[in-house]
Amino acid sequence: MAFFLLETLMKLVIGTLLTGKVVRKTSFGAFLAIKGETREGLIHVSRMRGNSQDLRRQRLNSIEIGEEMVVEISDLKKEGKIKRIALSEKLVHDDLVFKHMPLNEPIEGIVANVEEYGAFIVLPSWHMTGLLHVSKFTGSSNERHKRLSAMQIGDSVTVYVLEIEKREDEIKLSLSESPAEIADEEIAA
């Protein structure tokens, strides 16, 4: 018994990957049972996978009681005799996505939001959102803005991942035209 307890305590280190089972959900996150622990760990909605608030909220809504999740211990706090275990699905998921997401290859996306400076595109197969900046459209400035304003929420679009900024949690996209064409047009403009 003492060996098992020691083994469990040794595993609870920030950065440790583990599997937990969802035991309850709230509006702010999900509590996971961790094998060998009497305390549950919390994955706050801000630490769910995805790089936008909407994707993280969708993830929370899709989680089922009893579901197993791979998570990373992001923080441990001891307040008196109570140990709080903060978990993150985001660290595990986003690291894998940023490592394996292909650059300059076509990816299917869905327009999630359109702003004057660009469109936010959800990449469903990666559970991430990227920005298609208006400057990444081809044509003159007027043509670019017309093409952007023609985009509607829910439209399907083929995009290329130009750049991933892990530190900023950003994915920069271009339309399916080759990135070299866009660079040539930017120089000409």
Per-residue tokens: 136? 């990444």
The total number of structural domains in the chain stands at: 2
Average pLDDT, the chain: 84
143 in the same domain as 157: yes
Give the DSSP H/E element, type plus range, for residue 143. Answer: helix 141-150
Q: Residue 84: its pLDDT value, please? A: 85
* Parent domain of 78: 2-95
Map residue 95 onto helix, strand or coil.
helix
Amino acid at 123: L
Q: What is the pLDDT of residues 47-78, one digit of tens each?
A: 998 888 998 999 999 999 999 998 999 998 87
Task: Choose the final residue of a domain: 74, 95, 116.
Answer: 95
Q: In b/e form, how buried is each residue of 90-104, taking b as 16+ CB within 10 angstroms?
A: bbbbbeebbeebeee
| Over residues 140-149, mean pLDDT | 92
Q: Residue 22: its pLDDT value, please? A: 95
Q: Residue 81: its pLDDT value, please? A: 67
User: Would strands 29-34 and 40-44 be described as parallel, antiparallel, or unpaired?
Assistant: antiparallel
Contact 41, 32 (CB under 8 A): yes
129 in the same domain as 75: no
Residue with tokens 């441990």: 76
Amino acid at 3: F
Task: Choose the final residue of a domain: 56, 75, 95.
Answer: 95
84 in the same domain as 30: yes
184 in the same domain as 119: yes
pTM higher than 0.85 for the full model? no
84 in the same domain as 10: yes
Amino acid at 131: L
86 in the same domain as 20: yes
- 43: domain CATH number? 2.40.50.140
13 in the same domain as 88: yes
pLDDT category, 178, cuts 50, 70, 90? Answer: low
Q: What is the pLDDT of residues 82-113, one digit of tens each?
A: 678 999 998 888 888 888 899 889 999 999 99
Task: Choose the final residue of a domain: 48, 64, 95.
Answer: 95
Beta-carbon neighbour count of residue 32 at 10 Å?
25
56 in the same domain as 20: yes
Q: Residue 131: its pLDDT value, please? A: 95
pLDDT category, 180, cuts 50, 70, 90? Answer: low
